[in-house]
Amino acid sequence: MSFFLRPAILASTYLLIASSCAKAPTIKIWTEFSGDKAFSHVQALVDLGPRPPGSDAIVRARAYIEEQLEGSGWTVIEQDFTDQTPRGESKFVNLVARFGGASKPVFLLCSHYDTKIFSEFSFVGANDGGSSTGLLLELGRVLALQPDLARKIELVFFDGEEAVENFSNTDGIYGSRHFAQVLVKDGSAKSFRGGLLFDMIGDKSLDVTLPPNSPAKITAGIFASADALKLRNYFTYFDQDITDDHSPLNAIGIPVVDLIDFHYPPWHTAEDTIDKLSPQSLQVVGSVAAYYLSQLAFK
């Protein structure tokens, strides 16, 4: 059986379809971010125990991170390298993720997923390494709800952020230093317009302390996003510069803001455990970051 629509009816049909498409709601990904889901990722990582570079636990952490990201549509590449440390040569593995086969992302979201080596006690790094990784995994999930946005972003999980002994020009931030060197070598550094680094953002008593030399434009965007969500009181400046995984990226001309809560007494102690963290703190930082990425980062 065949049929046809009269021109007037056909025009009305097209208009109805166009109107429906025009009114399709845009997903507000900052409302989709779940502090509880981010917290569950942190718990899964902490359950693996200490995760220093080269350990069996960090291998399992990588497998977990890759599984979660791939389940949300991200493609993950392992960027492995060796570097000299005060205790000899060590192998490290960064994880780099792009969404849906994207070839030219322009913004970085970063965390480190290793924990510092301590021989005196078991250091599980719930906040220092765990909280930021859990948050970034949840951001990966909500960004996938806006594929066009997700394709602009590269997720990077750095290995070897922690110094083997003491922070110096050659000990610590191994993963981000290597990543920056690769970007310079292959000429892609100039493609990135900026980035956010997350570190220690799960403390129950949240006080995000941006380094005073943070790139001004991105910092203003983060503060504006926090204002829009009525969360500005959680964000302030630290009283001195901070060396972290953003440092090598800033050094090669990519403006990256370090979102870190450095007011954390259990830092680098056996007390950096999951009970010191709060899903609500992860919710605050994650929703502000998601709002910034969706509403301001690419304006």
DSSP code of 210?
E
Segment 187-209, tens digit of pLDDT? 999 999 999 999 999 999 999 99
- Residue 46, pLDDT > 90, answer yes
Residues 186, 174 contacting (CB under 8 angstroms): no
pLDDT at position 26 is 80
Segment 104-118, tens digit of pLDDT? 999 999 999 999 999
Residues 89, 239 contacting (CB under 8 angstroms): no
Closest to 204 measured CA to CA, from 134, 123, 114, 126:
126
Helical packing angle, 35-46 and 56-71, nearest 10°: 150
- Residue 63, pLDDT > 80, answer yes
Q: Which amino acid is at 125?
A: G
- Residue 1, pLDDT > 50, answer no
Residues 114, 129 contacting (CB under 8 angstroms): yes
pLDDT at position 12 is 42
* Token representation of residue 220: 């203003």
Helical packing angle, 56-71 and 132-143, nearest 10°: 20
Query: What is the full DSSP assignment across 130-149?
Result: IIHHHHHHHHHHHHTTSHHH
- Residue 134, pLDDT > 80, answer yes
Segment 146-158, tens digit of pLDDT? 999 999 999 999 9
pLDDT at position 25 is 61
Point out which residues pair with 82 in neighbouring strands: 91
Distance (Å, rounded) from C-alpha 33 to C-alpha 98? 19
Domains of the chain: 32-295 (3.40.630.10)
pLDDT at position 163 is 97
Residues 187, 226 contacting (CB under 8 angstroms): no
Segment 227-272, tens digit of pLDDT? 999 999 999 999 999 999 999 999 999 999 999 999 999 999 999 9
pTM of the model: 0.91
pLDDT at position 146 is 97
* Residues composing the chain: 299
